[in-house]
Each structure stands twice: as structure tokens, then as C-alpha cells.
Amino acid sequence: FTTSLLLGTTMTISSNHWIMAWAGLEINTLAILPMISKSHHPRAIEAATKYFLTQATGSALLLFSSMINAWQTGQWDITQLTNPTSCLILTSAIAMKLGLVPFHFWFPEVLQGAPLTTGLLLSTLMKFPPITLLYMTSPSLNPTVLTFMAILSTALGGWMGLNQTQIRKILAFSSISHLRWMTIIISYNPKLTLVNFYLYALMTTATFLTLNSTKASKLSTLMTTWTKAPALNAALLLTLLSLAGLPPLTGFLPKWLIIQELTKQDMA
């Protein structure tokens, strides 16, 4: 399954043809499903079903958008997405695959039902192919739609994460609000989106691996784990503050650069 995951990701990020990109996304989805439902717990099965249905819908929309574009322009090149309808459908498809508002409903539920290591894959590796597709099509996308989605993601990711006690759900809403930085800047400076994603993936990996080693899944258990591994918990505290984007830490860097770029564009 790990080999299939790597194969699917590599296929999507290195393809120039829409069908190859779609095939890579499908391989990815099929490879992660057994990992989500590994525990045979009803919650895990439910999470796998939700994940499958959303990803299948997203892939179908992606294929539909590329078909409309090919029908209008006569070519299947990813970078030549010129049809406005195709651009709109593609934005919806990728928003669905990433878990951007208003297509975010599945993500916290799936992350809560999956094991921590699978949750880590869902939050980082599985988001890389859709973000790459966004990066490749960024000149054609509608900045107004992306800005609208980003603002909604900000509001929802922040508010919904406040009243959660499950750490995985909090991290899911954190992921949704991090995506807003990536989507709002992709039309103006796509490289900043990639920088933001790499740093987000690094910090999320550190958080998930720490939680996995301390076996903490609720906030109440996290409060008592510092006695077992004080150094690890101190590092986790710094990682979480960095994930929040506190100024002296790494997580502040992409936000600073993005705000600077948005100011140049008269957006901020």
C-alpha cells in the first residue's frame, strides 16, 4: 500500500496529461482506504466510506472538467486549462479533495476515525498531489472564487476547532485553516503556496509522531503525558505554537511572506 501511495503521488505530480494525473489520484485513494479501515472498528469503516465517496466525487469532477477543456480546446495538457467552466469545476474538485470549505465536512470525521499514522498521511502526503495540480493550473484559476473559499476556511477552521476535545479533530481544523493561506496566494505567487505546504507538512509530521509515541488522542490525556516524556512534550509545545504561527517560530515565516505578497496585491 505504501508503494502504491508513492506511485500514485509521483504519477500525479510528474504528469502533464489530465488522465495520468487522474489515474495517480485514484491509485492514491485506493491505497489509503485499507490503511484507514485497518482496525475493523465501525468508526474506521465509516471514515473509510466517507473518504472513498468524497474522493471519488472529486476525481469524477476533475475528469469532467478536463473533458470539457479537451472538448473545447482539443488538448489534454494540464497547464493549458483555458475554459472558464473547466476552471470552476476543477477548483471545486480540488477543494473537495483537499477538504477546503465548503467541501470540508468529511475531513475532521475521517481523521478522527483513522489511526494516527494514517491521519498523518491524510494530512500531508495525500494533500500534495491536489496542491500540485492547483500549482500547475494556477494562472487559469479564478482568484475571486479562491479568495472566497480561503475566507470561509479561515472562519470555519478557527471557530470549529475551538470547542473540540479530540486532538485529531483539532488538527483537522488546523489543516483547514492552513489551507486558506495556500489557496489565497496561489493565483499571485504559487511558489509561496509550496513553501507554506512544505513547512505545514513538516510541523504536522512532528506533531503526529509525538502524539503517536505518547499515545495521546484527547486533550485530557495530553495534559498528563508530560510526566512520561518531559523533553518530548516541550518540543510538542513549541511545534504546536509554530503550527499556530507565533512570530519567533518557523510557522510564522510563510504567513509573513504571504501577508507581504497580499499587501503588494492590495488584498490585505
What pLDDT, on a 0 to 100 scale, did the predictor assign at position 205? 97
Strand partners of residue 77: 17
What pLDDT, on a 0 to 100 scale, did the predictor assign at position 217? 87
The set of cell numbers assigned to 144 is 475571486
- Tell me how many domains the chain contains: 1
What pLDDT, on a 0 to 100 scale, did the predictor assign at position 268? 62
Helix or strand run (H / E) with residue 38 = none
Give, as one character, the DSSP assignment of residue 114: S
Task: Please indicate, yes or no, if residue 263 is contained in any of the structural domains.
Answer: no
**Can you point out the beta strands (E) in 45-139?**
none
**Contact at 8 Å (CB) between 38 and 116?**
no
What pLDDT, on a 0 to 100 scale, did the predictor assign at position 91? 96
**Contact at 8 Å (CB) between 87 and 137?**
yes
Task: Please indicate, yes or no, if residue 234 is contained in any of the structural domains.
Answer: no
pLDDT of 10 above 70: yes
Q: Which of 23, 30, 24, 22 is nearest to 7 (CA)?
A: 24
Task: Please indicate, yes or no, if residue 19 is contained in any of the structural domains.
Answer: yes
The predicted-structure confidence for 181-236, as pLDDT tens digits, reads as follows: 999 999 999 999 999 999 999 999 999 999 999 998 899 888 888 888 899 999 99
Beta-carbon count within 10 A of 95 CB: 24
pLDDT of 267 above 90: no
Q: Please tell me which residue, 6 or 223, carries the higher pLDDT value.
A: 6
Task: Please indicate, yes or no, if residue 84 is contained in any of the structural domains.
Answer: yes
The predicted-structure confidence for 20-75, as pLDDT tens digits, reads as follows: 999 999 999 999 999 999 988 999 999 999 999 999 999 999 999 999 999 999 99
Beta-carbon count within 10 A of 140 CB: 18
Task: Please indicate, yes or no, if residue 261 is contained in any of the structural domains.
Answer: no
Task: Please indicate, yes or no, if residue 149 is contained in any of the structural domains.
Answer: yes
Helix axes 2-14, 128-137, angle to 10 degrees: 0
Task: Determine the 3-state secondary structure of 233 from DSSP.
Answer: helix
Burial of 114: CB neighbours in 10 Å, binned 0-12, 13-18, 19+: buried
Q: Which residues, 6+ apart, have CB-to-CB distance to 99 below 8 Å?
A: 106, 107, 172, 175, 176, 179
Task: Please indicate, yes or no, if residue 239 is contained in any of the structural domains.
Answer: no
Task: Please indicate, yes or no, if residue 258 is contained in any of the structural domains.
Answer: no
Q: Which of 129, 108, 102 is nearest to 27 (CA)?
A: 129
The predicted-structure confidence for 74-89, as pLDDT tens digits, reads as follows: 999 999 999 999 999 9
d(CA 44, CA 50): 10
Give, as one character, the DSSP assignment of residue 266: T
pLDDT of 237 above 80: yes
Residue 148 lies in domain: 1-190
What pLDDT, on a 0 to 100 scale, did the predictor assign at position 62? 97
pTM to 2 decimal places = 0.93
Work out the mean pLDDT of the chain and round it to a whole number. 94
Task: Calculate the dihedral angle through the C-alpha atoms of 21, 25, 30, 33, rounding to the nearest 10 degrees.
Answer: 170
What pLDDT, on a 0 to 100 scale, did the predictor assign at position 266? 84
